[in-house]
């Protein structure tokens, strides 16, 4: 667990807001017929123009700036050349590296013809993240946060992925500790002031089990049911947490894009 100085947190905030700005830009150009491959090229260009380095490209050999995970893909989707359809949901996970520090965020977008059942999955996943962050402060344990997210999702009939969790970040895109989206109250390590973590529920419409595809990156639901993913980078404080990324610019872009639905 790496506790950050106030100066480091300010630098992480810059990187985090760049991620949010990038996702907002991508939300403004997402359309039916566009491919994840084309979207990734746009993201790389946008980050470069803003003097940021993609956190994910080259990380353990990952080939792209974005993870683009569609429908049954949970996370780590490699951008392909299959065009988006009106019935797709797509998680876009992005990291930005500026001044020696990373920011990380993900948002699951819904195209215009997504079913009400899947819309509710997206709402539940995003709401579980916000409910988890609402109880997060110094002194809260891993299990307390995980329990809050898990309870909300499972009470609504959804499943929490177990194999994939949130993480610390700063000078590295992945640092200790792990941040599970499930757990028991009072269990696990205690979160401390000025710890920066990425909280990222991954929630399935069907069962919780997942498998990896042959590309050794893409994680999909074993039953091939849809999955949703939302992520914020946050700094833990004595009272509450400081959310360093922002969904506000992303959702403003969605409102202006007729291809997308605001959940």
Block means of pLDDT (10 residues each) for the chain, 263 residues, are 96 98 98 98 98 97 98 98 98 98 98 97 98 98 98 98 98 97 97 98 98 97 98 98 98 97 93
In this structure, what token pair is assigned to residue 12? 């992480």
User: Cα angle at 207 between 202 and 208, to 5 degrees?
Assistant: 40
| CA 167 to each of CA 32, 114, 173, 178: distance values in angstroms, whole numbers, following the listed order | 33, 30, 9, 5
pLDDT of residue 250: 98
Q: Which CATH number fits domain 6-261: 3.20.20.80, 3.90.230.10, 2.60.120.10, 3.30.200.20?
A: 3.90.230.10
196 in Cβ contact with 72 (< 8 Å):
no
Query: Under 8 Å CB-to-CB from 128, ≥6 apart: which residues?
Result: 148, 149, 152, 153, 181, 201, 203
> Across the chain, which distance is largest between two alpha carbons, in Å?
48
pLDDT of residue 245: 98
68 in Cβ contact with 37 (< 8 Å):
no
User: Cα angle at 142 between 199 and 206, to 5 degrees?
Assistant: 60
89 in Cβ contact with 111 (< 8 Å):
yes
DSSP label at residue 82? P
pLDDT of residue 257: 97
pLDDT of residue 1: 83
Burial (Cβ within 10 Å: 0-12, 13-18, ≥19) of residue 205? buried
CB atoms within 10 A of CB 151: 17
Where are the extended beta strands (E) located within 32-168? 53-54, 66-70, 73-75, 89-98, 101-111, 159-160, 166-168
pLDDT of residue 255: 97
Nearest to 246 by CA among 119, 105, 63, 71: 105
pLDDT of residue 29: 98
Distance from chain centroid for Cα 177: 17
């Amino acid at each position: 667990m790496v506790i950050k100085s106030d100066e480091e947190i300010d630098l992480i905030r810059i990187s985090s807001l760049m991620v949010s700005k990038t996702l907002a830009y991508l939300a403004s150009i997402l359309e039916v017929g566009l491919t994840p491959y084309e979207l990734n090229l746009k993201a790389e260009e946008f980050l470069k123009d803003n003097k940021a380095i993609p956190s994910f490209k080259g990380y353990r050999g990952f080939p792209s700036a974005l993870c683009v995970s569609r429908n049954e893909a949970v996370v780590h989707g490699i951008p392909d050349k299959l065009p988006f359809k009106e019935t797709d949901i797509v998680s876009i996970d992005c990291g930005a590296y500026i001044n020696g520090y990373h920011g990380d965020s993900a948002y699951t977008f819904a195209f215009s013809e997504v079913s009400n059942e899947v819309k509710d999955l997206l709402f539940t996943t995003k709401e579980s993240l916000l409910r988890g962050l609402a109880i997060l402060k110094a002194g809260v344990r891993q299990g307390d946060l995980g329990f809050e997210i898990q309870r909300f999702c499972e009470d609504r009939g959804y499943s929490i992925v177990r194999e994939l969790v949130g993480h610390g970040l700063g000078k590295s895109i992945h640092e200790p500790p792990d941040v599970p989206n499930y757990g028991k109250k009072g269990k696990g390590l205690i979160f401390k002031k000025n710890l920066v973590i990425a909280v990222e529920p991954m929630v399935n419409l069907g069962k919780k089990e997942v498998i990896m595809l042959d590309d050794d990156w893409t994680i999909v639901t074993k039953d091939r049911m849809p999955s949703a993913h939302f992520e914020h980078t946050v700094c833990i404080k004595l009272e509450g947490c400081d959310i360093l990324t922002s969904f506000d610019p992303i959702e403003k872009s969605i409102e202006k894009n007729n291809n997308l639905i605001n959940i």
